[in-house]
Amino acid sequence: MSQKRAGEFTLIDLFLSQFPRARVPVGPGDDCAVLAPSKGAQCITTDAVVEDVHFTRAWFTPEDIGHKALAVNLSDLASMGAVPRWFVCALALPRDFPRRALLGIARGMSALARVHGIALVGGNFTSARELSITLTAAGELSPGTAPLTRAGGRPGDVLYVSGTLGDARLGLSHLQQGRRRSPAILRQKRPEPRIALGRLGARFASAALDISDGLAQDLGHLCAASGVGAELELESLPLSPSVRAALGPEGALAGGEDYELLLAVPPGRTSTFERACLRAEEPITRVGRLTEGPVGRIRGARGQGLRLPAGFDHFQGGGRIDRSGREG
């Protein structure tokens, strides 16, 4: 066995030491994981966090990076109404990457995995110029439950968002200003996937998606997929006092990486949905409704046209972190 391969297996063992043994027929260590069949439909997603795009090591601890890498994938599962089950992890590491930092990434990832009961069942290590973590995560729908998609919305459906908006964008701004702690910075570093709300949404909603690129852009995606327009109540957007003061509703609309959920609920189900969320202590806010065409057109609640800010686009600039730490 070459020294290079021995080093790779040492890193794998070090990373796996932070995770409980996966209860699957075949887990980490073979060429493939083997998973037992399930009764519900499977939802599969993949996403990556990349150094100097989604985080910088100067601002994020290894634990932050591990948490965020898993959280963004769990948020996708939440938007479909799925229960998290398994994930695989591919890490690309610089050759001089400290083992202590690798352990920190594993700790942050495994802590969130335990909270949501998702098991690491396999993955890969490779060397690279920059740190990146790519996960593929799987979740299950309850038997007989249809997945929530972007395409199920209908005119008249009421729009809800979870939590508050714009915090992650404000947190990035705080980091750029040299601050190291604030509630907004925590939201940028440690997003919390809305798994429980997604399961509620599967019972009541017609369409949903997670807000990763800003509400303005993601609402446009839902409208385009559903073939509808929308009316948005800017004054109703749920904003923390600090976001309201620093960004206002328009700035919050463009804030990427909120990882909250946007749900469309038929009007006949809104009362029971709101009561269910209240019992589950899942914060939601009505922010508008879907309308008949023009498809994708988003207006104000009084019918006025809105000049909505663009959200994040990896290939056209947006709100992530570039090498200099600026918003790019």
Binding residues: 31, 45-47, 54, 76, 123-124, 150, 210, 212-213, 257, 312
Nearest to 299 by CA among 237, 249, 253, 232: 232
| Interior/surface letters 110-119, b for 16+ CB within 10 angstroms, e for the rest | bebbeebebb
Q: Give, for 44, the enclosing helix (H) or strand (E).
A: strand 42-50
Give the bridge partners for 161, in sequence order.
262, 285
Distance, in Å, from the CA atom of 248 to the CA atom of 257, rounded to the nearest integer, reads 17
Residue found by looking up tokens 């979870």 in the block: 162
Residue found by looking up tokens 């004054």 in the block: 235
The answer to whether 298 and 308 are in contact (CB under 8 A) is yes
Which residues are part of a known binding site for substrate? 54, 257, 312
Which residues are part of a known binding site for Mg(2+)? 31, 45-47, 76, 124, 210, 213
Distance, in Å, from the CA atom of 90 to the CA atom of 98, rounded to the nearest integer, reads 17
Which residues are part of a known binding site for ATP? 123-124, 150, 212
Enter the tokens of residue 42: 């499977």
C-alpha 162: how far from chain center:
13
User: What is the DSSP track for 183-235?
Assistant: HHHHHHHS----HHHHHHHHHH-SEEEEESS-HHHHHHHHHHHHT-EEEE-GG
Distance, in Å, from the CA atom of 245 to the CA atom of 266, rounded to the nearest integer, reads 33
Q: Give, for 95, the enclosing helix (H) or strand (E).
A: none
User: What is the DSSP track for 7-34?
Assistant: HHHHHHHHHHTTSPPP-SSB-BTBSS-B
Enter the tokens of residue 304: 């006025």
The answer to whether 124 and 28 are in contact (CB under 8 A) is no
